[in-house]
Amino acid sequence: MPANSVDKAARHSSCFYRRMMLALLVCALCLLTGASGEALPSPGFDLLLLVRSYPPGFCSHQHCHTPASSSFTIHGLWPEYKTGGWPQFCGAHTTHQAAGPPTPAQNCLWPSLIGPSPGFWEHEWAKHGTCAAPLLGNRTAFVATVLELHEKYNLDVALGNAGVLPSSSGDYAAEDLQEAVRAAYGAAPLLSCTAGTLVEVWMCLDLELRVMDCPPAVRPGPKCGADVRLPRGAEVPPRCRPFSPPWGAALPGARKGGDGARDGGGGGGDGDDGGEQGDRPSWRVAAVLLLVLALAYVAMYGVQRLMAERVEAEEPLLLVGRGWQQGGRADP
Ligand SMILES: *[C@@H]1O[C@H](CO)[C@@H](O)[C@H](O)[C@H]1NC(C)=O
């Protein structure tokens, strides 16, 4: 009778441990699949292209209505799929969302080179901005983000720092241009040319707006050859000079040391672009580790119990002995 109850208790407890192990295992699996499956909510695209024009190159094959200055200007910020396609004209009801009056910075840094700028901005918002809205917000926020990114990843400064200056004599190696931008911001851009002259520079940004190497499927317009001309254009007009630092000015953030280094370093580690995104699941990883530890502990404890059970079954004498002892205590 006492032996039976000990047996029952042992079987009960081993059953309990098996259930507990199973539950913990299920928990660990849930957390693991959650950690890998639930990244940031997708805005409906994979990356953004920050596209800048080099006016002297652009205007070498287009009729421009303003003198083309030797200073990169904004073309747009375009949502893109990593497979090379892109969404466009995404928000019927937001397409004609009103824009506030343009700031002097927007007039200087994001001009249409071939027509009235308001129509150009309207087009960029309707075609691309409406698709970026899940990530960047309304039209006002979109314009602000584009201007910020243009300044943050200033191309005049990056190229100038590397000694790549507008020149009406001679070419640069396309690789040198790309390397200069990589040195400044951590990832090489794509280059687009017409007849060997630089027209556009495309930078890929991840969904946290950090530069990244462009996926192989993302292609700019006509590619450049090995050599690129960077013809000298007009001077930046005085009203725009405050917004265009001279070529080779200090990199934004460079004086702050740490910040500049972080900008370069963040994009620089090519395999590193999960860095900040990893913040969210990192508590999960910790939880999984804890669970695995708990699981291991419970498993060891359970195995110990099971072994003890087997020993009891194989050695009836010991069992009787223990039964007697326990019986003795319980039933004097
Ligand atoms: C755009 O969004 C910002 C916040 O992101 C908000 O403050 C602002 O009022 C919005 N503007 C319009 C015109 O809806």
Residues 6+ apart with CB under 8 A from 70: 55, 56, 166, 232, 233, 234, 235, 236, 247
Q: What is the pLDDT of residue 278?
A: 30
Domain-embedded: residue 97: yes
**Please, which residues bridge with residue 205 across strands?**
48, 211
Binding site membership of 103 for ligand 1 (Cβ less than 6 Å): no
Can you tell me the distance from the alpha carbon of 174 to that of 167, in angstroms, rounded to the nearest whole number? 14
Tell me, yes or no, if 124 is annotated catalytic.
Answer: yes
Q: What is the pLDDT of residue 310?
A: 58
What does the pLDDT profile of the chain (332 residues) look like in tens digits? 444 554 555 555 555 556 655 555 544 554 454 444 445 678 999 999 999 999 999 999 999 998 999 999 999 999 999 999 999 999 877 777 888 899 999 999 999 999 999 999 999 999 999 999 999 999 999 999 999 999 999 999 999 999 999 998 889 999 999 999 999 999 999 999 999 999 999 999 999 999 999 999 998 889 999 999 999 999 999 999 999 988 988 876 654 433 333 232 222 222 222 222 333 345 455 565 676 677 777 667 766 776 666 555 544 444 444 433 343 333 33
Residues 6+ apart with CB under 8 A from 97: 91, 125, 138, 139
Domain-embedded: residue 96: yes
Q: What is the pLDDT of residue 33?
A: 46
Taking a C-beta distance cutoff of 8 angstroms, is the pair 44, 134 a contact? yes
Maximum CA pair distance of the chain? Answer: 110
Q: How far is the CA of 133 from the centre of ligand 1 (A)?
A: 12
Tell me, yes or no, if 175 is annotated catalytic.
Answer: no
Q: How far is the CA of 162 from the centre of ligand 1 (A)?
A: 39
Binding site membership of 237 for ligand 1 (Cβ less than 6 Å): no
Domain-embedded: residue 283: no
- Structure pTM? 0.67
Q: How far is the CA of 137 from the centre of ligand 1 (A)?
A: 8
Tell me, yes or no, if 12 is annotated catalytic.
Answer: no
Can you tell me the distance from the alpha carbon of 249 to that of 58, in angstroms, rounded to the nearest whole number? 24
Ligand 1 atom with least separation from CA of 98: 13
Q: How far is the CA of 141 from the centre of ligand 1 (A)?
A: 7
63, 80, 122, 124: which is the annotated catalytic residue? 124
Using only C-alpha atoms, what is the Rg of the chain? 32
CATH number reported for the structural domain that contains residue 89 in this entry = 3.90.730.10
Tokens of 310: 């087997």
Which domain, by its residues, includes 225? 47-240
Domain count, the chain: 1
**Ramachandran class of 186: left when φ > 0, alpha when ψ lies in -120 to 50, beta otherwise:** left
65, 80, 128, 150: which is the annotated catalytic residue? 128
Q: How far is the CA of 125 from the centre of ligand 1 (A)?
A: 15
Domain-embedded: residue 20: no
Domain-embedded: residue 144: yes
Binding site membership of 304 for ligand 1 (Cβ less than 6 Å): no
Domain-embedded: residue 192: yes
Ligand 1 atom with least separation from CA of 97: 13
Helix (H) or strand (E) holding 329: helix 316-330
Domain-embedded: residue 103: yes
